Structure 1
Amino acid sequence: MADWIILAAISIVSGCFAVQWLLPRRAQRDHAFGLFSNTSLFDAVFLFDEERLISHSDIALAGFEHVRNWTDLRRLLQRDFPTFPESPGAVRDKGYVVVSPIDCTVERDVLCEWIDGIVRVRLREAAKAKPAGSEAQNDPTRLAMDQAPYPVWLLGQNNRVQWCNAAYVALVRKARDQDTDLTDPLFPSTPEERSVGKTRVSVEVSGSSYKLWFDLTQVEHASGYLCYAVDINAIVQAETAQRKFVQTMTKTFAQLSIGLAIFDRNRQLALFNPALIDLTTLPPDFLSCRPSLSSFFDRLRDQHMMPEPKNYRSWRRQMNDLLEAAEDGNYHETWSLPSGSVYSVSGRPHPDGAVAFLFEDITAEITLTRRFRSEMDLMQSILDKLADGIAVFADDGTLALTNYAYQKLWGDAEDAGFQTDTATDVTRRWQDLCLATPILGEIRDFLEMRDDRAEWTAEIHLRTGTPIQCTVTPLQNGATIVRFSISRIPSKIQQIEQISA
């Protein structure tokens, strides 16, 4: 009986070897290939005979239960796997196709393989398909793209995104929502909107008015366009802040009555305000064309809006000196124009080599000053005709004005006009020419008083014995007039001497 059992076992083993030997031999494949490869419980496998689905795994991903043909499966996979083959023929031609997800952060891919007329499609976990240390994981080009800090993506000929890196995925979800279609381009994609090279584009953030700005670079590729976006929000914000600052300054300059002309480092007119047009009578279109510094002043000379030079050579020399002085911040002149107007012109250096010129019409100020000087000269002439000596003291006690009679009396003829002597200096000079008297001290004290001031009169005597009548009169704002009258009536001493005689 044992012999029969041993013989049966040998027969079974021999039969198995014979069957194995007679089976068609296939080329050795990787353990992840073929119909009989180990499949993860989370994977879904589909078998196609041409376009028709003939079988699928029992545990399929949600949403794939109604797949009936290749088109149905491609429609379901196209959003996450836009490069999925359009037909099984592409798999037949290559024999083996791995489709990567558009989102490089997704740990899945699709394996398509041709096996004896059958197309096997397997949705698998990419981490298991590519073991740690594999060539795909260590590919520096793929690592650089996946971990790049700026969005990178491939735009297909059908204007759909075929691949993108993690930065692009994060940007799309930030601008739209978490469950957005990554194949729908976030940046301009139509031929009319597309521009090869670098362009500045903005992306609107869903649910807000905020915009994200990028420098978009598109490079033509065999399968479409490789696109790169560089974040320039900081640059745009800086430009916006600068533009607002310039607008604010422009509005401020527009309100100024002083003409402003700023020339950049190339000596081209960069900025001017309306007051410059009013003061120089230069046409706005001429100023808007950004004339050079020399052209600007040549035009002023032609318009007779600056002092007429003696000759052109000296004029050019004067302009060179003007520019050098303006660059040092030392240029300041008063221009008396042929029209009778008077301008104050100054030059100031600005950052980055720019120069600013300021034009101010000071005709009214000069006219007022000249009129004031004329009135002062007239008043001085009137005072000089008076027989009495007049001394006018300011509210701080300094001698402000005297006349010819005063100067002749006190010996100050060489200092005619405005004085800067203090009350102490003046009364000391008087004391040197007078007999001792407390009147001069009282006058000095009166000049320093601010309240309870009333006119009063006293008499002093020169060392020659000549009596002088002093009248102290307070004025508004603390000023004081001291008038010296040489008495025509004999003094009491002279009267006594005459009686004694």
Structure 2
Amino acid sequence: MIRLSPNGRGTALRFDASSVSPGKLIERLLGALAPNMRLATPPDAPALWFDPQRIRHSTRGARRLLGPVADPGAPLSSLLEAFAAQDRKLSEEPEHALAERLRRLAERGEPFRRRVRLSDGRNYDVEGAPSGPLCVLLIRDVHDECEALERARAAQLRAEGEVALLRAALDRVPVPVWREDEAGAPHWRNAAAEATPQPEAPAEPVRIPGAPGAAFVGRAPPAPAGPDGSLRIYADTVAETFAHLRVGLAIYDANRRLILHNPAMAEIFGAKPEWLANRPSLRETLDRLREARRLPEQADYPAWRAALFTLFDDPAHARYEDVWELPDGRGVHVVGRPHPLGGIAFMFEDFTESMALQRWRSTAVEVRRATLDMLGEGVVVFGSDGQTRIANPACRAIWGLDAPFGPDPAASLPPHVADFAEACARGGDAAATLWRRIRDAVSGGGGRSVWRGRVDLADGRTLDARVAPMPDGSTLAAFTDVTDGVRVAAALRERAEALEAAAAMRDALVDQLSHRLRTPLNAIFGFAQMLHSGRAGPLSPQQAEYLEAVERAAGLLLEGVEHMSELISTHDPQRPVRRPPDLSGPPHEIGACRRRTGAGKA
């Protein structure tokens, strides 16, 4: 027994020398020693121990990561070949390749440490070093650390870019700005501060806390004095406010010259900002926009322009509002109001989309109303508050609501569902029941489900009614006058019943006639056969001729009966069709034909 006790812990190996070969003994010994010779690493971390010929020991993590080439006993050449294939994929230089460094470690004991990307696409730190009689290879997964490092580098680059951008922006500020360190000494200045040899801190500095012990210090610009300074502050405030709005702004002074505009005004009319910056007059602005077809077409343009000029005769009371429909199809809402410092401020709002939406909505409403008016079905819609929204002419005609309703002659419809129900109650109890159901559906007491039914009015008309909820909370009621259809159906039923009765009477009559005719005919044919047979004695030639005439006449009568039966059978499919007998032959053939057709039966 061999016992190893590193750090107070022991590992025991028992073996029987008579049953273990020397090679197996060495492998067991290395397997017991290898875990105690490894570097500091987690128990399941990828690690393996090897000599120049083969792998002696490996952890589960190493076998899971590298596969069969890391199994104990596997030749080292297999591991080298696997690393060489990986090096070729990564285009590694030969002397820095992982396979070459591993070979040097196994042959010369040269330690190394490298960061590589293995076949699973993750980054690993690979460290190899001699460990007693063997060499140890430790592999540590650092993929997450690499990604975190890349993110930190990207964040640093972004921060550096933002710092450079902020410094460039501060260089354009006409106010001296500099940054002080912990001792209070400036170590960065903007362009305005660089222009001043020794910038002094203002009496009322503007300090922006920065890093610990540092601050940005700036000199606030002095407020302009006098009316010109106030005007400039007001103009700057208005320009900054309206620069971000979609509503165009153009302010003209008392001399009708442009003193302020925002970018939206230039965008709406397609004017160049450089030209507007030259402060054109109102006449120049209108003429230029007219040339560019950015103004509404006017039959008398000079008169229209002169009407705008008259606003400046009394700017304090000027009021202007109009919709300019431009040639390109756009609509611009123009509002002119007095400016506090004199002149007139014009505001331009491009409401093309709103106008198109309003037109589409108006068209949709008109199409819907025309569609409802053309329907033969009566339709009425009640809002969630019970007010009457829509009622087409068919509905008014069905319920007799063509006369004005109430004291207002223009009110041709009951304003509320209760008024509607009261006006239609003269249709009888069935109509009153129907409108109670409609009122319950509008108020929500009858639920919000679809209802269908048929109603018979007191005046003899019949209606198919349907009540259905609408998505916006309103309720639709539809009525179809099916009186004509019901009457036609009733008439058809009566006709069918009359035809069935007539057919029954005809069949009874035919049966009676057939029975009453066949009975004497059977007797005639019977006696004629008996006389022909000689049972009553011999017949003279004249008697035989008379007997044949009797039989022929009886046959003709039987043929008529058969034809009548066949005619009846064409209207009654259940009756069999019978062929009439051929009575043109001799008397004995006539008797045979009579027997075949069943004429002998009563």
Q: Normalized against structure 2, the TM-score is what?
A: 0.39
> What TM-score do the two structures reach when normalised by structure 1?
0.46
Higher normalized strand content (fraction of residues): 1
Q: Which has the larger radius of gyration?
A: 2
**Greater share of helix residues, 1 or 2?**
2
Greater relative contact order (Cα < 8 A, sep 6+): 1
